[in-house]
Amino acid sequence: MTSLRPRAAWMTGLLASAVAASLLTSTPAHAVAGDETADGAYAFTAKLDIEGRRYCSAALVEQEWLISAASCFTDDLTKDRYVPEGAPRLKTTATIGRTDITGKGGSVVDVVELVPHKDRDLVMARLARPVTDVKPVRFSPDRLMAGETVRVTGYGRTKDEWVPDRMHDAEFKIDSLGNGTMNLTPTSPGAAVCAGDTGGPAFKDVGGFYELVGIHNTSGQGGCFGSDKSETRRTATETRVDDIKGWVQATTARTVLSRHDWKNAVHSVSGDFTRDYRRGTAPRKDLFVVWADGSASIFQGSDPTNDSRPFSAEYLVAPKGSYWKNAEAITGTRVTDDISSGTHTDGLTVRWNTGKLSTFTHVDEHGFFEEKTLAYSNSWKNARLITAGRHTANDLRDDLVVLWADGSTSMYSDTGANGVAKETQLTRANPAWTQAAQLTSGGFGGKTDALVIRWNNGSADLFPGVDTDGFHSKVNLRPEGSAWKYAQVLTAGTFNGDWSGGDLLVRWADGNLSYYADVDASGARKEIQLVG
């Protein structure tokens, strides 16, 4: 393909320049890239209007971030594709979640910042506000292989329209994979990637969920409106994104936590809720948060490249006013027998204000699945604090520790398989234990998990190796009257991406957010401020 035209000129051909309205055809569109996309499908695909001079496509990869082609923002492709980091030179508007640009719904948001990749024709584009009504596309966690099929979408030219209003899509096959690129061939006659599709996504359909693998770069454009009639090539070259997830995460992580008022975080628990778990690695835990308005979010853990940015994306999994406003206590729970596959996710155990105790055995960025009622009685209204961890020899499922209103504590072993039938009382009723303000469980050194308790007087204690035999020792993390009296929510988890020990996330009364890395029996020393 490149032997017919210089690469720079070919790239330029993919960019749809603005034209006067009088030049637009009134003939109904028959999209070259396939049939017109059904309403609501592939809503993460975005259209970019660059000051009316140029149109491109893009993909929503996080509530506040798009990924597209850097060449969309280049002044002169025949000279240089360099795009400076910062605000776009020309006013750029993104339309997201609207199959037909002339319709209603979705979001129309300005692009306020560009972050180009140094080696590829890629750019991350930050939006002026988060888009919460469209699910971002996920990055594929798997290695691509030649012969796989992908779907491409975009708002580029069709066979008979110069600047169409409607998204179109088609299926392509991966012919070959290169260093940062992949070559595609359409699987149906007439399909092609056309001008204006530049920056649009190529993705895999995995059980009805979509995983991004490439961004449109160059194409033969055979059959596209306005192309040379002698041009017959319909193959396309994509910029690969399956191998640059770390760069994307480092970019999106800068804005994920700061856009929230963390004083409104009522509950937070850690877990492997997204499909980023890899056997033999130490991934950052994801964070599930319930907000004061009843909405809920999952913050995805990122690659362990920067301690101060442990979360790379936010997925809204419950809207305002949802049933999560009725949750009185929540803990993350591992309830599966198989943690060896990349599809493993953790669950949640919830004590509701009705006295019901239930477990969601599967939780991910798409929502909550397989709820199982463990108990339903007025007595469970007295379960003031709950936490789950590996406190027994069973390494596959967690045990539930309960601190009751009378100051007694219990452990329910092997919760995932046996519900809450197997109870071991750890301590009898104790007025002193009614002063416990927060309770969390984690791998703070030792073979079995430890408990951390923050008391109302500001002190905090670590109880190593709690098991069915009870509490064996105590390590004081903070003395009475310490600043920890302002700690409102404690969450244990691996947030810094190493194996050296458990970390402790703290949400403070003023809305600041920080964590203590590698907490163990020697104390909580290394504090890293995330928000505030």
Span 70-91, pLDDT tens digits: 999 987 655 566 799 999 999 9
Q: What is the pLDDT of residues 44-60, one digit of tens each?
A: 999 999 998 888 999 99
| Per-residue confidence (pLDDT) for residue 223, from 0 to 100 | 59
Report the run of H or E that residue 203 belongs to, with start and end: strand 201-206
Rounded mean pLDDT, 433-462: 92
Q: Is the confidence at residue 358, as pLDDT, over 90? A: yes
Q: Give Cβ neighbours of residue 445 (< 8 Å, ≥ 6 apart).
A: 464, 501, 502, 520, 521
| Per-residue confidence (pLDDT) for residue 2, from 0 to 100 | 28
| Per-residue confidence (pLDDT) for residue 165, from 0 to 100 | 77
Among the ranges given (13-22, 351-360, 380-389, 425-434), the one the predictor scored with the smallest mean pLDDT: 13-22
Pair 203, 236: CB distance under 8 Å: no
| Per-residue confidence (pLDDT) for residue 225, from 0 to 100 | 60
Q: Is the confidence at residue 400, as pLDDT, over 70? A: yes
pLDDT class of 410 with cuts at 50, 70, 90 = very high
* Measured distance CA(456)–CA(173) in Å, rounded: 61
pLDDT class of 264 with cuts at 50, 70, 90 = very high
Mean pLDDT of the chain: 84
3-state secondary structure of 377: coil
The amino acid occupying position 22 is S
| Per-residue confidence (pLDDT) for residue 522, from 0 to 100 | 86
| Per-residue confidence (pLDDT) for residue 26, from 0 to 100 | 26
Q: Is the confidence at residue 8, as pLDDT, over 50? A: no
Adjacent-strand bridge partners of 206: 209
Query: Higher confidence at residue 430 or residue 155?
Result: 430
What phi, psi does 116 have (nearest 5°)? -80, 150
Q: Is the confidence at residue 393, as pLDDT, over 70? A: yes
What phi, psi does 456 have (nearest 5°)? -60, -25
The amino acid occupying position 395 is D
- For the chain, where do the domains classified as CATH 2.120.10 start and end? 257-531
Instruction: Say which CATH class 257-531 falls into.
Output: mainly beta
pLDDT class of 158 with cuts at 50, 70, 90 = low
Across 220-264, the runs of DSSP E, i.e. the strands, are 236-240
Of 201, 18, 8, give the one whose Cα is nearest residue 92: 18
Pair 340, 350: CB distance under 8 Å: no
Q: What is the pLDDT of residues 88-98, one digit of tens each?
A: 999 999 999 99
Q: What is the pairing mode between strands 138-139 and 209-219?
A: parallel
Q: Is the confidence at residue 515, as pLDDT, over 90? A: yes
- For the chain, where do the domains classified as CATH 2.40.10.120 start and end? 7-245
Determine the CATH number of domain 7-245: 2.40.10.120
Q: Is the confidence at residue 263, as pLDDT, over 50? A: yes
| Per-residue confidence (pLDDT) for residue 30, from 0 to 100 | 30
Most confident of 175-184, 220-229, 333-342: 175-184
Q: Is the confidence at residue 4, as pLDDT, over 60? A: no
pLDDT class of 23 with cuts at 50, 70, 90 = very low
* Measured distance CA(460)–CA(134) in Å, rounded: 41
In which order are the strands placed within the sheet that holds 450-455?
436-442, 450-455, 460-463, 475-478
